[in-house]
Amino acid sequence: MLPYLLRRLAQSLVVLFGLAVVTFLIIHLVPGDPVQQMLGARATPHTVATVRLQLGLDRPLLAQFGSFVGDTVTGRFGDSITQSAPVGQLIGQRIAPSALLIAYGMLIALVIGVPLAIVAALRPNGFADNLIRVATTFSFAMPTFWLGLMLALLLGLELHVFPVSGYSGGIGGVLRTLTLPALTLGLSLSAIVVRTLRSSLLEVLQTEYIDAARARGLSERRVIGKHAMRNAVMGTITVLSVNLGFLIGGTVVIESVFQIPGLGSLLVQSVEHRDYQLVQTLALLAGATVVLVSLATDFLQAAIDPRIRLASA
């Protein structure tokens, strides 16, 4: 197990280094200059040159890459050029809202998705199944900005249950301000949960060991809950974990609709302003999360499914 773990970690480091190189090149090669963006119509060639010099943007690319790697390895992350603040501090302030939003949204997706998937799988092609499939297709196909606005209109503006936008910390604050955005996220993710879980449940329910379990006179609840779900849930976990990586920075639309100070909006803003340091660090962070999550997923699957445990042992 340990050599396997070490090998996976080493692979991850190579992946992350590759990611650093690629992000660095992409953001430096696309047209656009942070200083000109910052100064706008006031950008005379003289001021642009002065500011470039001050920010160290006049140095050769290799030197800039070197200091980016150095900053990252030492954990200092450098300064954001367009916000005049340390990158670490900027990201630190924004991690919590994003992480909570994603976790809360996933929770909602599971709470909505799992029961619906079971109901749908029990009577495939029945009325309930069709209704559920239509409804989830609908919620998945709706653009999140529209879904979010509709929820804000209904539950915020009309019913006054939640504020239409904004974010505040603490348990009460999170429940108040993040419920609508998490619901928006959860509704669109629940389609994924329902779809994957329903199809793998259907598959599992046709296997012989389910027949055997039923023949032993186990209650339907036990058959589904213990025997079928355990096998069927693997696919859903994999799909959700892949999505988790995507959601780091991928929640930007929801963040902007609900005015949540998260990583997604920071990333978009930093790309718009060509804030090299910030873009690179955020991309690296998202990459590291994906790598870590896929590692964790492997372990989780091993814990749930003895076959994986035995195979890798």
Contacting positions for another protein (CB under 8 A): 30-33, 36-47, 50-51, 54, 82-85, 90, 93-94, 149, 152-153, 156-157, 160, 163-167, 256-259, 261-262, 265-266, 269, 272-274
The minimum distance between CB 43 and another protein, in angstroms, equals 7
CA 273 to chain centroid, in Å, comes to 23
The minimum distance between CB 103 and another protein, in angstroms, equals 19
| CA gap 278, 270 in Å, rounded | 6
The minimum distance between CB 200 and another protein, in angstroms, equals 38
The minimum distance between CB 139 and another protein, in angstroms, equals 20
| CA gap 232, 128 in Å, rounded | 20
Q: Quick one: tokens of 149?
A: 């606005």
Of residues 238 and 259, the one with the C-beta less far from another protein: 259
Of residues 93 and 243, the one with the C-beta less far from another protein: 93
Closest to 28 in 3D by CA, of 61, 66, 73, 6: 61
| CA gap 127, 143 in Å, rounded | 26
Sign of the CA dihedral with 141 first, then 146, 152, and 158 last: negative
The minimum distance between CB 174 and another protein, in angstroms, equals 14
Of residues 158 and 208, the one with the C-beta less far from another protein: 158
Residues 223, 217: contact at Cβ < 8 Å? Answer: no
Amino acid at 240: L
Of residues 124 and 156, the one with the C-beta less far from another protein: 156
Of residues 195 and 273, the one with the C-beta less far from another protein: 273
Counting other chains too, the contacts that 54-60 makes at CB distance below 8 Å and 24 or more residues apart are 55/81, 57/81
